[in-house]
Structure 1
């Protein structure tokens, strides 16, 4: 019978998949975290860290929530700075994006569905 619950640490478990803790890429034997429904990431970004290339052709909807720090999200034609705990942004499929950690930042990212 598969496990009915799981506990862990986002920093430790996320290291295996660049911060992603739930999604299609988790080993199938980990039935609670392996899913095609969504992906969840715990992102720890030091000040100055930038995604140099833009993500293009995205086929998922994305939610980004600021836990701490200051984080700039670059979207076509606009940049949004998340600076208050709980600030968030949501964007849909086909929206290109990039980002920059203005100050040390922790963010939670949720994408759906989880696609290979």
Structure 2
């Protein structure tokens, strides 16, 4: 079987890597994971119950990030602004040097895409 394709379920696969589906931290030697190991991009399927939060701020992240709301109500605090994503499809993109924290105001599902996939 070819190792340059993969089919799965985001909720099932996300349990293995704290929600992350693609990225440098997925071992390419793990069966079925080769195509998901990437130094270029990270993709996360985030399921967050109401009240769950990341109260600490990221520290000097040097990646670009996209956060896309699938369902729920999700507050994103950036060092430059704060916003609440509340309508399906709402999203925020921010660049290197902008730190963030977040809180799920309702049960929420979000997709996060970061690039590049940095190991440090």
| TM-score range for the pair, normalised by the shorter chain length | over 0.9
Once the two structures are TM-superposed, the CA of residue 78 in structure 1 deviates from its matched residue by: 2.4
Q: When the two structures are superposed, what TM-score results if normalisation uses the length of structure 2? A: 0.92
Once the two structures are TM-superposed, the CA of residue 4 in structure 1 deviates from its matched residue by: 3.1
Aligned residues: 116
Aligned position for 2:116: 113
Q: When the two structures are superposed, what TM-score results if normalisation uses the length of structure 1? A: 0.95
Structure 1: 5+ residue runs without aligned partners? none
Aligned position for 1:96: 99
CA RMSD in angstroms, aligned pairs only:
1.2
Superposed CA offset, 1:45-80 (max 9, x none)? 000111010112101000000000000000114210
Q: Which runs of 4+ in 1 moved over 4 A?
A: none
Structure 2: 5+ residue runs without aligned partners? none
| C-alpha distance in 2 between matches for 1:92 and 1:25 | 21
Query: SS at the partner of 1:73?
Result: strand
